[in-house]
Chains A and B, each alone.
Chain A
Amino acid sequence: MNKREVPGEVWSRKKVDSAQEMSTNSTSPVIAAFRVFQQELDAKHDKYERLVKISRDVTIESKRTIFLLHRVTNVADTEDVLNEAEGKLDGVRQKISQIAEELRGEDINQFHRAFTPGIQEYVEAVSFLHYIHHRSLISLEEINARLVFMRTEKADPKGSAEAAPRGAHVLTFQVTPADYLLGVADLTGELMRMCISSVGNGDIETPFQLSQFLRQIHDGFSYIGNTGPYEVSKKLHTLRQSLGKVEDACYTLHVRGSEIPKHMLADLFCSRTTHMDTEEGVV
């Protein structure tokens, strides 16, 4: 306890010092100006922190949705799981509407770094769900179209004086192309996992569909190359690895699938992928 009290004391003494200083020359224009800066900076930092917090919540909920969606492959009733995932994503969208609320009247790019991880994770989750439903890539417009929120002005007592009769207004949140791109790059990792687990279930169709889809995405990324943001080129490497694993799985299925009883496919497959992992670790 003692140990914890000491720094606290020092800190409070410091605070008193600066308070005295403030009172001695508070008339100075310099000090007055810095007081204004203090408020401005504090307001900005607070907003930033709030956005980081929301973004973290968005990330966590999106991750959970992805885990949930991975269960689709080995659950009998897929419809239930998909509905549950949709429900979770609605919750995430609610959070994103809070981000949009915070950003109202602000320059989005000023705070972009605060919420970009959350948004990327959301893109990943929503595109994964879309893929399971439609076997296609969700477009940026489709994502943005679902991020339009109708907000009814809350009639809470403190705001009632100025903002009472304005009624509903539309809030939108735009995912930037760069965030979309990075989210899609993450999606490929999930698809690779889905491919492996579907083999475990004796599903021979899905891996081939996935490998085709992944190849299309890979081609798309190669087309963009290094015109994109710096992170894209980093993710391209992981994308190659995922694609390699999926293609290799398809190869195995194709060559040996007909020879081996279905229940043993998974074993065979696991040994091959681990072999690949070590190989790529060297490169």
Chain B
Amino acid sequence: MSVTEMFSYIQGFLSADQDVREDIRKVVQNLEQTAREILTVLQSVHQPSGFREIPSKCAKARELFCTVRTHISDLKTKFPMEQYYRFHEHWRFVLQRLAFLAAFVNYLESEALVTREEVAEILGIEVVREKGFHLDVEDYLAGVLIMASELSRLAVNSVTAGDYSRPLRISNFINELDSGFRLLNLKNDPLRKRYDGLKYDVKKIEEVVYDLSIRGLAKEPESGEDK
């Protein structure tokens, strides 16, 4: 094979690769759009009026997740499944946002940590790599960490809205999350960087709980005490 032939073969490969990336980028744009819409719906829980409407907001968000599922099934057709990690960077960010949104909806509804399986189900994807388009464990964990900072905000705003018991529950939840993350041996990667922010969320929520306790506003003293 001559040098020229070799290079034109490689060139063909590279431009085919670029076409695939182009297709992926288009679908990911749609996904990002939907993710922003869901976020907008959920943001209203921070407003005083929004606290009474949490169930309806969650229902609306869950409806929007249907659109997410169709976009993702569209994405699945754009590239061969065994090359997931080759194009991972393209949807990594949006998948983390979506994991966060799914976790947040789940928390608002049941005040529990969403499992990786549940997130995968909400997004219409798989948990293990062998079965196809899946949720990477690091992306799931990143999503959970985004939720933690959202919850620290929610703790502050729920006090403003007159809901004094919520911060205590959030505090318990975040503390559990924190000890969970402390079990992980993280490398010096983006996830670790994000995890380093968790302590500030913990601190902020603890301050809110403290403020409530010294004013006697905490309705559940037993859970406030062990902090």
- Beta-carbon contact of A137 and B3 below 8 Å: yes
Min C-beta distance of B34 to chain A, whole Å:
26
Min C-beta distance of B198 to chain A, whole Å:
13
Residue total for B at the interface (Cβ-Cβ under 8 A): 38
- Beta-carbon contact of B7 and A221 below 8 Å: yes
Please report the C-alpha to C-alpha distance between residue A110 and residue B88 in the assembled complex, in whole angstroms. Answer: 9
Min C-beta distance of A23 to chain B, whole Å:
11
- Beta-carbon contact of B183 and A109 below 8 Å: no
Instruction: Check A261 for interface membership: any CB of B closer than 8 A.
Output: no
Residues of the A chain whose Cβ atoms lie less than 8 Å from the Cβ of B129: 107
Min C-beta distance of A164 to chain B, whole Å:
24
Residues of the B chain whose Cβ atoms lie less than 8 Å from the Cβ of A145: none
- Beta-carbon contact of B137 and A40 below 8 Å: yes
Please report the C-alpha to C-alpha distance between residue A177 and residue B3 in the assembled complex, in whole angstroms. Answer: 14
Min C-beta distance of B80 to chain A, whole Å:
11
Give the dominant DSSP class at B's interface: helix
- Beta-carbon contact of A41 and B186 below 8 Å: yes
Min C-beta distance of A5 to chain B, whole Å:
23
- Beta-carbon contact of A216 and B115 below 8 Å: no
Residue of A nearest to B116 (CB): A33
Please report the C-alpha to C-alpha distance between residue A247 and residue B129 in the assembled complex, in whole angstroms. Answer: 51
Min C-beta distance of B202 to chain A, whole Å:
14
- Beta-carbon contact of A31 and B184 below 8 Å: no
Stretch with Cβ within 8 A of A (4 or more), from B35-43, B146-154, B157-165, B174-182: B174-182
Residues of the B chain whose Cβ atoms lie less than 8 Å from the Cβ of A136: 2-3
- Beta-carbon contact of A45 and B187 below 8 Å: yes
Among the interface residues B1, B116, B185, which one has the most CB atoms of the partner chain A within 10 A?
B1
Residues of the A chain whose Cβ atoms lie less than 8 Å from the Cβ of B179: 18, 21-22, 25, 31
Residues of the B chain whose Cβ atoms lie less than 8 Å from the Cβ of A35: 183
Residue of B nearest to A49 (CB): B187
Min C-beta distance of B22 to chain A, whole Å:
12
- Beta-carbon contact of B10 and A41 below 8 Å: no
Please report the C-alpha to C-alpha distance between residue A38 and residue B191 in the assembled complex, in whole angstroms. Answer: 13
- Beta-carbon contact of A25 and B7 below 8 Å: no
Please report the C-alpha to C-alpha distance between residue A70 and residue B138 in the assembled complex, in whole angstroms. Answer: 46
- Beta-carbon contact of B113 and A228 below 8 Å: no
Instruction: Check A227 for interface membership: any CB of B closer than 8 A.
Output: yes
Please report the C-alpha to C-alpha distance between residue A140 and residue B1 in the assembled complex, in whole angstroms. Answer: 10
Instruction: Check B84 for interface membership: any CB of A closer than 8 A.
Output: yes
Residues of the A chain whose Cβ atoms lie less than 8 Å from the Cβ of B8: 223
Please report the C-alpha to C-alpha distance between residue A112 and residue B184 in the assembled complex, in whole angstroms. Answer: 23
Residues of the B chain whose Cβ atoms lie less than 8 Å from the Cβ of A177: 10, 13-14
The one of A18, A41, A109 in contact with B182, judged by C-beta atoms closer than 8 angstroms, is A18
- Beta-carbon contact of B183 and A38 below 8 Å: yes
Instruction: Check B56 for interface membership: any CB of A closer than 8 A.
Output: no
Instruction: Check B33 for interface membership: any CB of A closer than 8 A.
Output: no
Please report the C-alpha to C-alpha distance between residue A242 and residue B15 in the assembled complex, in whole angstroms. Answer: 27
Residues of the A chain whose Cβ atoms lie less than 8 Å from the Cβ of B116: 33
- Beta-carbon contact of B6 and A137 below 8 Å: yes
Given A30-B180, A140-B10, 12 more A-B residue pairs with CB atoms under 8 Å apart are A21-B182, A35-B183, A42-B185, A109-B85, A110-B85, A110-B88, A136-B3, A139-B6, A141-B1, A217-B3, A223-B8, A224-B14
What would be 21 A-B contacts, judged by CB atoms less than 8 Å apart? A18-B182, A31-B176, A31-B180, A34-B183, A34-B184, A37-B141, A41-B186, A42-B185, A45-B185, A45-B187, A107-B83, A107-B84, A108-B85, A109-B88, A110-B88, A137-B2, A137-B6, A177-B14, A219-B3, A224-B14, A228-B10
Closest 4 CB pairs of A and B: A220-B7, A34-B180, A109-B85, A109-B86
Binding site for A on B (CB under 8 A): 1-4, 6-11, 13-15, 18, 82-86, 88, 113, 115-116, 129, 137-138, 141, 176-177, 179-187
